[in-house]
Amino acid sequence: MHNHTLIRKAKAVVTCDAADHILHDVDIRIEEGKITRIGAGLDPIGCEIIDASHSFVYPGLINTHHHFFQTFVRNLMSIDYPNMLVVEWLDRIYRVFKEIDSDVIYHSSLTAMADLVKHGCTCAFDHQYCYTKKTGTSPVDRQMEAAGTIGLRYHAGRGCNTLPRSQGSTIPDEMLETTDAFLADCERLIDAYHEPDPFGMHRIVVAPCQPINSHPHTFIESAAFARDKHVRLHTHLGEGENPIMKARHGKRTLAWCEEIGFVGPDVWFAHAWELDAQEHAVLAATGSGVSHCPAPATLGGFPILDIPGMLEKSVPLSLGCDGSATNDSSNLLDSLRMAYLMQAFHGKSRNRVPSPYEMLKIATVGGAQALGRSELGSLEVGKAADLFFVDVDMLELCGTLHDPANLIARAGVCGPVERTIVAGKTVWEHGRFPTLDERELAREGNRICTERMAPHFPL
């Protein structure tokens, strides 16, 4: 019986530490889910040995925005996101969302989490705002169950919508909740799952879905509640809703969030595509973070973030897949390369393109900052053993190996990674989940999708 793990002779370790160290031919010793030593020729006694002599090792990617429940509403051309405004899309897609039940939540979450883990993600936040008559308050409980099955480090955003359609929202009435019921369930979930200590596997985030689809007091009370409980806050911002906010409140969304106190180092926003340079300065001054999701930005035709400009101002930036209905995958490696290519395309004329390695750091160190997890995001002694391997003895990677730091975002890794380790445990290796029957789970998920969701898809 081995108590510890030794990753032996890694061909390269891209640490993503503050000094941007790239180490070669080193061992990594892991004890109790943490990295305890990094160096050449470490003592292997008492350790399970993992050979990494043909592998590049990276810190696990951190996904800071997603909607797992949308995974069974993918590839649906009858509600085609690129061909409509986001508010129109919301109006139509919610009619399908209201058919989601508790089993759909479990299997769609499991599917998304498996895709993430296969592609090097070790810690994910999900923004769960789909509460129907059929799910009741079960979704986060079912997601925690799925995270335990896959072995992913998981932050659940408990979302909500409180504003009726009659008052201008896009939400079917049967999917509305009251602010009191929402906050009561947040409290229940925090008591049941939130692990505030460093290295915890599960956390809860208070995350009303978006300002246009809730009463203002939902956001005001959420901010007060989250601060009282010392948990983080999240919502959508700058994705086409500004004209509605101006008509309702006389100001853009970020100014409204600032006015009600929904900004700060404990807050991060999904998207921020439509924010201007002055608003970037507000994000930087308040320490509010952004989750950049390149796939829906592209499919929705949104402005491309000026990442070098935002980094210059020290806006905390991280990376997300976003909902599976606007991506339509949960492959964060793919989103990382897409984010880099978009920056190259749009940055060329501005004469400032971030390096692929800078984009990798947004997906690792940046993600850790967004989630308030300074013990994640880099490979250093004392940090969590959350990491992934890329087997570099592969023909498609020949000729790229001279620069491990830039490889992931520039050349890209197509297909699953070699191995993913979360909290010191291997959760994916050599094409299989060590504790799961993947084919059986895929068949069961497809059966549930076909039975429960497909009959409600518009033609």
Q: In angstroms, what is the minimal distance from the CB of 323 to Zn ion? A: 5
Choice between 115 and 322, CB closer to Zn ion? 322
Helices 102-118 & 438-448 angle (0-180, nearest 10): 140
Q: Give yes or no for a contact between 340 and 354, defined as CB atoms under 8 angstroms apart.
A: yes
Choice between 57 and 62, CB closer to Zn ion? 62
Q: Give yes or no for a contact between 60 and 120, defined as CB atoms under 8 angstroms apart.
A: yes
Choice between 201 and 319, CB closer to Zn ion? 319
Which parts of this chain interact with Zn ion (CB under 5 A)?
Answer: 270, 322-323
Helix (H) or strand (E) holding 61: strand 61-63
Which strands form 22-23's sheet, in the order they lie side by side? 22-23, 12-14, 55-59, 387-391, 419-422, 425-429
Amino acid at 367: G
Does residue 328 have a cis peptide bond before it, meaning omega lies within 30 degrees of 0? yes
**Look-up: residue for tokens 């749009």?**
346
Choice between 208 and 323, CB closer to Zn ion? 323
Choice between 323 and 412, CB closer to Zn ion? 323
Q: How many CB atoms lie within 10 A of CB 264?
A: 17
How buried is 415 (Cβ within 10 angstroms: 0-12 exposed, 13-18 middle, 19+ buried)? exposed
Residue 31's beta-bridge partner residues? 4, 34
**Look-up: residue for tokens 């402005």?**
303
Q: CA–CA separation, 324 vs 331, rounded Å?
A: 10
Q: Give yes or no for a contact between 363 and 62, defined as CB atoms under 8 angstroms apart.
A: yes
Q: In angstroms, what is the minimal distance from the CB of 65 to Zn ion? A: 6
Q: CA–CA separation, 239 vs 105, rounded Å?
A: 25
Choice between 30 and 362, CB closer to Zn ion? 362
Choice between 270 and 370, CB closer to Zn ion? 270
Q: In angstroms, what is the minimal distance from the CB of 325 to Zn ion? A: 9
Choice between 324 and 364, CB closer to Zn ion? 324
Q: In angstroms, what is the minimal distance from the CB of 63 to Zn ion? A: 12
Q: In angstroms, what is the minimal distance from the CB of 247 to Zn ion? A: 22
Query: Which of 156, 209, 121 has the alpha carbon at shortest distance from 388?
Result: 121
Residue 153's beta-bridge partner residues? 123
Q: CA–CA separation, 79 vs 90, rounded Å?
A: 9
Choice between 120 and 238, CB closer to Zn ion? 238
Strands 153-158 and 121-128: parallel
